[in-house]
């Protein structure tokens, strides 16, 4: 943990020290040469990125990486995962250890401007909430004056928490851990009254408790947390591939294309929007430097946004999170992708 962070920090320093400046398109070239996409994910967070006992990764962030691999190679399995703690993630991306970061990372001004990074879009709209033990008898976050709060280090959560308590004139004691595993363990052991994190994470962490029913998520959402994939600054070509991989999944859902019906639609559909996404007409993969069937491969191998969402965090998963803000704009949510044409 500690050790790995120092390694990637050292790697960054070494990279900054010796490397020549990168050029646009360098990442795609390097990825093609390696034969896989190196993707930074969490060390384990149900629904977002988690590996099972066979070392197979699942999650909505993992599927984002797979979508990029499918677009680039036409093969969603050509991706390798680097588990990173919240603290390690940016350094790992800056140093070139990973090609993209898909690790429920909040898009903020500081991160977009000071870290040499670019956010390629939002694959999950989240907000920070509080998880409390039921026997505490707390009904609202405004009753939390004086509470001990467990947090994961290196997140926007730390700052939002401080802001929230300051705004309400309340005191708190932060206990900051490196990894979510220790955070939830300390909460379970009674070290803190409250665990705070993005709401999606709270549901994911809650099912890791021995008795998930003993804890409850408070109704307050205290921040905006648009989570999305991140790439390095200065390589627009790669940035666009990641952005449009996400857009392809969202557009596919909007057009009603799923992994199950895409082959059928490919043969029968006359809708120009669908035909453009599948790569039968229009600009196809040209501008991105990808094959014509890039979007077809994403939907065929990974699925559209709805499939990915429901499978990992929605109804088809243990988390059972409702679409809410993450529904398409046509269904009352705010997920909206630029059209493929």
Q: Between β-strands 117-119 and 225-232, what pairing exists: parallel, antiparallel or unpaired?
A: antiparallel
Residue 126 backbone dihedrals phi, psi, to 5 degrees: -125, 175
- Which of 126, 308, 105 lies closest to 199 in space, CA to CA? 126
Q: Which residue, 112 or 310, is less far from other proteins as judged by CB?
A: 112
Q: Which residue, 111 or 266, is less far from other proteins as judged by CB?
A: 111
Stretch 19-58: interaction string toward other proteins, x if CB under 8 A: x-xx------------------------------------
DSSP-assigned states of every residue in 168-203: TT--EEEEEESSHHHHHHHHHTTS-SEEEEEHHHHH
Beta bridge partners of 268: none
Residue 133: DSSP 8-state? E
- 260: alpha, beta or left? (left if phi > 0; alpha if psi -120 to 50): alpha
Q: Which residue, 153 or 280, is less far from other proteins as judged by CB?
A: 153
Sequence-ordered list of residues with C-beta below 8 angstroms from that of 4, at least 6 positions apart, any chain:
85, 88
| Identified binder of other proteins from the candidate list 35, 134, 140, 159, rule CB under 8 A | 159
| Identified binder of other proteins from the candidate list 57, 130, 172, 203, rule CB under 8 A | 172
Contact 328, 254 (CB under 8 A): yes
Alpha-carbon torsion angle 163, 167, 171, 176, nearest 10: -10
| Identified binder of other proteins from the candidate list 7, 26, 30, 186, rule CB under 8 A | 186
For position 207 contacting other proteins by CB under 8 A, the verdict is: no
**Which among 9-17, 57-65, 196-204, 272-280 is the span making contact with other proteins, rule CB under 8 A?**
9-17
| Identified binder of other proteins from the candidate list 91, 106, 223, 312, rule CB under 8 A | 91
Helix (H) or strand (E) run with residue 82 in it: strand 79-83
Q: Which residue, 235 or 293, is less far from other proteins as judged by CB?
A: 235
Shortest distance, position 139 Cβ to other proteins, whole Å: 14
Sequence-ordered list of residues with C-beta below 8 angstroms from that of 196, at least 6 positions apart, any chain:
128, 129, 130, 131, 149, 150, 151, 157, 161
Per DSSP, the three-state class of 292 is coil
Stretch 231-250: interaction string toward other proteins, x if CB under 8 A: -xxx----------------
For position 18 contacting other proteins by CB under 8 A, the verdict is: yes
Shortest distance, position 150 Cβ to other proteins, whole Å: 8
What stretches of 149-281 show up as alpha helix (H) in DSSP? 156-167, 180-188, 199-206, 236-255, 262-268, 272-278
**Which among 70-78, 146-154, 303-311, 322-330 is the span making contact with other proteins, rule CB under 8 A?**
146-154
| Identified binder of other proteins from the candidate list 148, 217, 221, 325, rule CB under 8 A | 148
Q: Which residue, 13 or 322, is less far from other proteins as judged by CB?
A: 13
Residues 121 and 240: their CA atoms lie apart, in Å, by 10
**Which among 180-188, 250-258, 272-280, 313-321 is the span making contact with other proteins, rule CB under 8 A?**
180-188
Shortest distance, position 151 Cβ to other proteins, whole Å: 9
Q: Which residue, 13 or 283, is less far from other proteins as judged by CB?
A: 13
Binding site for other proteins (CB under 8 A): 1-2, 5-6, 9-10, 12-13, 15-19, 21-22, 86-87, 90-91, 94, 110-111, 113-116, 136, 144-148, 150, 153-155, 158-159, 161-163, 166, 172-178, 182, 185-186, 189-191, 193, 232-234
């Amino acid at each position: 943990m500690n050790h790995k962070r120092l390694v990637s920090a050292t790697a960054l320093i070494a990279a900054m020290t010796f490397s020549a400046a990168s050029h646009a398109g360098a990442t795609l070239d390097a990825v093609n040469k390696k034969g896989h996409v190196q993707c930074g994910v969490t060390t384990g967070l149900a629904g977002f990125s988690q590996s099972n006992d066979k070392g197979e990764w699942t999650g909505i962030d993992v599927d984002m990486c797979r979508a990029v691999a499918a677009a680039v190679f036409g093969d969603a399995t050509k991706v390798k995962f680097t588990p990173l703690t919240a603290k390690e993630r940016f350094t790992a991306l800056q140093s070139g250890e990973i090609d993209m970061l898909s690790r429920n990372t909040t898009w903020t001004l500081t991160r977009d401007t000071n870290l040499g990074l670019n956010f390629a879009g939002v694959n999950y709209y989240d907000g920070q909430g509080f998880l409390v033990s039921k026997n505490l008898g707390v009904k609202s976050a405004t009753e939390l004056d004086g509470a001990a709060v467990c947090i994961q280090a290196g997140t926007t959560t730390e700052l939002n928490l401080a802001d929230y308590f300051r705004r309400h004139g309340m005191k708190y004691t932060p206990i900051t851990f490196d990894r979510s595993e220790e955070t939830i363990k300390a909460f379970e052991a009674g070290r803190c009254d409250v665990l705070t994190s993005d709401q999606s994470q709270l549901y994911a962490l809650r099912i890791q408790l021995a008795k998930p029913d003993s804890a409850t998520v408070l109704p307050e959402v205290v921040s905006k947390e648009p989570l999305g994939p991140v790439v390095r600054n200065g390589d627009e070509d790669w940035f666009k591939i990641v952005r449009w991989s996400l857009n392809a999944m969202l557009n596919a859902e909007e057009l009603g294309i799923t992994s199950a019906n895409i082959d059928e639609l490919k043969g029968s559909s006359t809708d120009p929007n669908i035909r453009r996404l599948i790569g039968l007409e229009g600009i196809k993969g040209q501008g991105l430097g990808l094959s014509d069937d890039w979007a077809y491969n994403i939907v065929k191998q990974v699925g559209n946004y709805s499939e990915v969402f429901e499978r990992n965090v929605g109804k088809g998963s243990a988390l059972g999170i409702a679409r809410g803000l993450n529904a398409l704009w046509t269904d009352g949510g705010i997920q909206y992708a630029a059209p493929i044409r």
